Structures are given as structure tokens and as C-alpha cells.
Amino acid sequence: MMTTILKYEWISLLRNRILLGAMGLIFLAGIYAIYYGNTEMTKQKATIQLVQDAEKEKITKQKSDFKEPSFEVSWRTQRTLVNPPQSLAAFTIGQRDVFPFTKTIRAYGLYGSIFGSEIANPFKLLTGNFDLAFVFIFLLPLLIIALSYNLLSAEQEQGTLSLILVNEISLSKLIFQKLIFRVLVVLGFVILLFLVGIVWTSTPLNLRSIVWLIGTCLYILFWFSLVFFWVSYRQSSSFNALALLGSWLLFVVIIPTFLNLYLESTRPLTSGANLQRELREITEAGWNVPKKENLKKYFLENGIIDTTKISADMVHEIALVHYMDKNAAPHFAEYKTQLNERVNLSRSMSWLSPATQTQSLLNQLANVDTDAYLRFLESLESYYPKFKGFFDSQKLANKKFDKNDFDKIPMPTFKQNESKIIWTEFLPIGIFIMLFFGLGWRKMNQKIFSL
């Protein structure tokens, strides 16, 4: 009997030109999303390569133009740290289009470069790119609704339900078999687009990409559990359509919007503009400190006793930058704390919306979330003392920068560590799936009992 039902459902789908057209449009949207994501990541890689090539060219020119040893090289020298996109970034761009993926370091201050970038609301930035994740999370549920809103009501309205039930098949089996057909169609649709993306973007088919696909498939099953729940009421097609569209608005639009408003009101975040203003005030205050006071404090903190061979002007420059960085560091630490609190709160509440939960999970797997950007900034903070310290040690030793010293300057290295796969992240969606299937099953049995 199941073979007959699946065959009938397949024939019915092939005859429905509107549904086939909708599937074709969403498939084309998926293809464009893959193209868009791949294009964006290709542009970022090309930009990174251009930055690195330009830096190499500048270093070469510095070496060739170098004439005689000098103390001033540090002020003209810079190094760039880059954060290249990971393999799944083409599938879900996340926040890579918002957060800088290159940062230039100079020896006269760290936080000016960091504060120059606005780190926006992480919850608000969960969406906004027309990538494959967007198609799966926002558009595919609409296709599921179009395929399934009349799963049972069509048979009721056409008067064929009683004839089907005569053929020794229960109502629950009928619904499940019709639902399984639609699940297979949509999952096949998802897997096809996923494989096209894998080939197109040259993304490795490894555990992380498979987990990315699993997360997407669970999200699809959530929407089918909602279909089963509403169909179990055995209402009209129009009722099912309105209920499912209302569910789409609730889980995809309304709940994320209210969560965003809640974060805005309960976890205010200092803006990048305010941080820049605070940095300017710190800089001005530093220049206003008397030179002798700065030098005395710096000598005491660093245990420098013999100052006869040290240029006071150079040490004053070192001390000034040191204290400006030291005074700016707490502001940035506080800002990171605020950002982490918002990210943690948004994740703790994201279970209320499977759409938000899935987007967050996919972003984490692709290393395109706020945590990945913070890891990049932490690497920047770790490199800066090595870079600045190289020049400071030469100045404190009263040693002029020599041409051979170019090759001794510490070079920045950063490799984005892949975030750990946390299987419990799937739990909220799994609970939703079991909840709606369970409620639907109960409602369906009540209906059958009442017949």
C-alpha cells in the first residue's frame, strides 16, 4: 500500500505545475545563493592576497630605500594580520561581511586600529546575506508549506478519504506515508543543493560539513513536525495554510525581532564611535602628562636604573604609547565583555526560534560568528607586544635599526581554530520536533477515537 501511495503522490506532484514552478524558483535561488556566497568569499580571499602582496612590496621597497641605521624605522613599519575565510563560509557568510578580516598593526598604538571598526549587534547580524543558509532557513519552509498544507484536507475536500481508508490502512499510516514522501522530496532537494555547493566552492566533504548538513536537515524535520501538528486537527486547507504561514512568521520573523529588541534594551553595547572618542581622550591626556613624570614612572615599572645611555625622547615615546595602550585596554576589555554577554544571552534565548538556533549553529560551524572575530582580535592583541617590543628593546638598548633587522621583525601568524562541534546545540530543535510530532499524534488519535 505504501508503494501505491508514494507512486500516487509522485504522479500528483509531477502534474502540479505551480508546485514544480515553485521548486524550480527556490532551486534557482539556491544556485544563486551558492554563486553569491562563493563570489563573496573569493573577493575576500583576493583582497587578502592583495593586502599581503602590497605589504611584501612595501617591505621590499623599505629595504631597498634603506640608507643608514636609524631609530625612526618603527614609526614607518607596519604588519598586517589576516583572517581568511574557512571552508563553509561560502555556504553561510554570517558576519564576515561586517567584521574586518584584515588588521594593520603599528608600533604606536594597538586600540586605534581595533576601535576603528564598529562591532554591531550579533543577533541582528545573524541574517542579511543571500547565501545558502538563508535559502534553507527562510525560503525552504515556504516550500514545505506549499507542499504539505493540504496533506490530508485535499482528500477530505475531494471526498476520497473514506475510499482510501477502506483499503485497510489507518489514518495515521496514511498521513505518515504522505508526509514521508514530502520529507524525502525536500531532503533530496536540500542534499542536491548541498552537493552542488560542495563541488562549486571546493568545500571538503568532512565531518564539519556533514554536521552542517545535519543541522539543516533537523531544521527541515522541525517544519514537517509543525505540518503534522496542524494537519492532525483535520481542518480545511485554508486553515492549514494560514496556521503554517502564521507559524513561519512567528518563528522566522516575530520571535527573532522581539529577541533582538530585548537584547538592545537589556544588554546595551558601547558603540565604536564612543570607543574612538574615549581613545582620543586617552591620547590627549597622555600628551598632557609631564615628560619627567612619564619617564620616572616608566623607569620604575620596568626596573631601569642606568639611564645614562638611553635617549629620554625615545623612552618618552615608548612610555607614552605604553600608557595609552594600558589605559585603553580596560575599555576594550569591557567592550568584549559586553559583546560576549550579548552573544551568550542571544544563544541562551535562541531556542525560542528554531530558525535563529539553526542560523547560529551554522554560523558557528563555518567560523563566521562573533566568537570567531573575537579570536582574531585576541590574536592581534597577542602579536602586538611582540611587534612593538622588538623596536622598544632596540631603542632602550640605544641600538639603531639596521638593514639586517628587517628580517628579525616578528611576523604575524593567525590560523582560525575551528570551533568545537557541540552536539547539545541540536537538542532544542530535537525537542521541538518531538513536541510537535507528539502533540500531533495525540490529537490524531483523539480524532480517530471519536469516529
Q: For 368-425, what is each residue's pLDDT tens digit?
A: 988 888 889 889 889 999 999 898 888 888 888 888 888 899 988 887 777 778 888 8
The per-residue pLDDT for 124 is: 42
Lowest mean pLDDT among 93-97, 118-122, 220-224, 435-439: 118-122
Count of H-run helices and E-run strands, the chain:
18, 2
Q: Does 66 or 39 have the greater pLDDT score?
A: 39
pLDDT band at 116 (very low <50, low <70, confident <90, very high): low
* CB burial string 259-290: b at 16+ within 10 A, e below: bbeebeeebebbebeebbebbeebbeebeeee
CA–CA distance, 279 with 50 (Å, rounded to integer)? 30
pLDDT band at 433 (very low <50, low <70, confident <90, very high): very high
For the cut 80, the answer to whether the pLDDT of residue 263 exceeds it is yes
The per-residue pLDDT for 127 is: 46
Give residue-wise pLDDT tens across range 158-202.
766 666 666 666 777 778 888 999 999 999 999 999 999 999 999
CA–CA distance, 336 with 344 (Å, rounded to integer)? 12
Three cell numbers written together for 65: 630605500
CA–CA distance, 57 with 46 (Å, rounded to integer)? 16
pLDDT band at 45 (very low <50, low <70, confident <90, very high): very high
CA–CA distance, 147 with 22 (Å, rounded to integer)? 10
Average pLDDT, the chain: 85
Choose from 5-14, 87-96, 257-266, 392-401 the range with maximum mean pLDDT: 87-96
The per-residue pLDDT for 2 is: 67
